[in-house]
Copies of this chain bind each other. A is one copy, B any other.
């Protein structure tokens, strides 16, 4: 920067003003132009670290997550990254492997880098315990929540998801709609069932407990539940699966019985895992989680927190992705 200043015969101060495009200082257009020319000519590139040190703004945001290892929920990173970029912030992503000692260590090092905020994101909707140092910096939780629900968080609307999936099946003419839910007690499980029952109630269909199964979130889980449901005396004509993986298993069980999708049995999945949903035959209609928006929203909340806003809880609902199974 000194070089630039010397080169154009101005002071460092002036150069700094020009480069930062400050409008509150009067600098002649001629000087401005000369500075920029020199910048080009000398190939000058401001040192962000030095800027941070002097200005006390690092423009760094931490993202601690267990997502990088898995194919799941990458949209969160994606959405956050994009939103951060637009705000001129850089995301420092650290994968915690879901290990809380690691999370703690990661946060320490990020605090050493003087991040202005931190996001904790998980690949499944669940409870986490935060490192103590989380209270030292604005914190937002994505797809997870802390015991005391003390931190602002961005969560998917499980109820709405359960509702729209079920309603889609009802609209297709089904009255006996089964729900293959995830393991009991999970936030997703609870919420989706509420949505499911709400949709049935709205259509005047009584809830039949025999049509509600729970299983592991795997193809095998889906296969077994579906097989059992199809054995029922009054078997369902539609099945709403808790995950696309389960739907994958459901397809097998259905095809094995020579039934066709969606003519004989309608199927709706959950998660919109492209890789499964769009390559299943027929392509799977499924409820998507709004991962991108969740990530972006987290950045937005952090920005809001920085300007004095108070932390809320944001519930985002995802759309139904129509393909061909319902």
**Chain A contacts to B: CB under 8 angstroms:** 45-50, 52-53, 58, 68-72, 74-75, 77-78, 81, 85, 90-95, 108-109, 111-114, 218-220, 223, 245, 248-249, 252, 255, 273-276, 279-281
Contact = CB atoms under 8 A, between A and B. Distances in A.
Contacts of A276: 275-276, 279
B53 A81 contact: no
Contact of A68 (B45, B53, B78, B275): B78
20 contacts: A45-B108, A45-B111, A45-B112, A46-B112, A47-B112, A49-B49, A49-B52, A49-B53, A49-B113, A50-B53, A68-B74, A68-B81, A71-B273, A71-B275, A81-B93, A90-B94, A93-B93, A218-B279, A219-B280, A276-B276
Contacts of A48: 109, 112-114
B74 A71 contact: yes
Contacts of A248: 279
Contact of A92 (B58, B72, B92): B92
A114 B274 contact: no
Nearest to A102: B85
A252 B279 CA distance: 11
Given A45-B111, A49-B49, A276-B276, A90 B90 contact: no
Given A45-B112, A49-B53, A252-B281, 19 more contacts: A45-B108, A47-B112, A48-B114, A49-B52, A50-B53, A53-B53, A68-B74, A68-B77, A68-B81, A90-B92, A92-B92, A218-B279, A219-B280, A220-B279, A245-B275, A248-B279, A249-B279, A249-B281, A275-B276
Nearest to A67: B74
B90 A113 contact: yes
Nearest to A220: B279
A74 B280 CA distance: 23
Contacts of A92: 90, 92
A75 B70 CA distance: 8
Contact of A94 (B81, B109, B255): B81
Contacts of A109: 48, 90
A201 B91 CA distance: 51
Contacts of A74: 68-71, 74
A4 to B, nearest CB: 15
A85 B276 CA distance: 33
Contacts of A75: 69
A93 B50 CA distance: 21
